Amino acid sequence: MMQRDACFRALAPHVTDEIVISTYSSAVDWLELGERTLNYFSVGAMGLDSSHALGVALGRPDRRVICLQGDGSLLMNLGCLVTIAAAAPKNLVHFVVQNGTYEANGSHPIPNAKAVDFAAMARAAGFAHVHDFADLHNFEQQAGHVIKQTGPVFATLRVEPSKPLTYNYPKLYDARRRTALKAALGRR
């Protein structure tokens, strides 16, 4: 089993001009690694991070888009797997951080936490490439390759629940962040 922050540290060196979309605990850990204009945290409703990511991927097919979604969030929007597979954006990489809990809401377990297989769901939905990582060394070796594959790509990161995080939502969802992101993405 891995730690989410360690996975993100393994991913970060490979991320250059990709647009990274995340929310809640994943967003907190990702932001710890540094400010980027191309971080997209303005989600506004749980479960929709993957849908925001699809919108960006469709709107900017010339840029790669990485979604860092929690497992509780995906469960609130499971249909997105089918929608994304149907829309088939070649530039979208969808990571699901599977810690088995609704971490931002008291760390209660997600339904059927020990058995649910998100990678199998993504495969059945029709994703072009599907990965399932539970070993950090393996992920460190593969991360750069995974985010360069022709999408839609799906990867589960099986992690342990983290220590309690401090959720600074005003900082995370600051309107100035959205303004800067739109200015960056709207440019051609």
Binding interface with another protein (CB under 8 A): 21, 40, 42-45, 47-60, 77, 79-80, 82-83, 86-87, 173, 175, 178, 181-182, 185-186
Residue 74 structure tokens? 């995906």
Measured CA to CA, the distance from residue 26 to residue 97 in angstroms comes to 8
Nearer to another protein, 59 or 144 (CB): 59
Minimum separation from the CB atom of position 102 to another protein (A): 16
Residue 93 is which amino acid? V
In whole angstroms, the minimum distance from the beta carbon of 27 to another protein comes to 14
Quote the CA–CA distance of 124 and 138 in Å, as a whole number.
24
- By beta-carbon proximity to another protein, the closer residue of 47 and 72 is 47
- Which CB, 45 or 134, lies closer to another protein? 45
Smallest gap, in angstroms, from Cβ of residue 157 to another protein? 21
Q: CB of residue 12 vs another protein: minimum separation in angstroms?
A: 22
DSSP 26-76: HHHHHHHT---TTEE----STT-HHHHHHHHHHH-TTS-EEEEEEHHHHHT
What are the tokens at 86? 């149907």
User: In terms of CB distance, is 73 or 139 closer to another protein?
Assistant: 73
- State the first-to-last Cα distance of the chain, in angstroms, to the nearest integer: 41
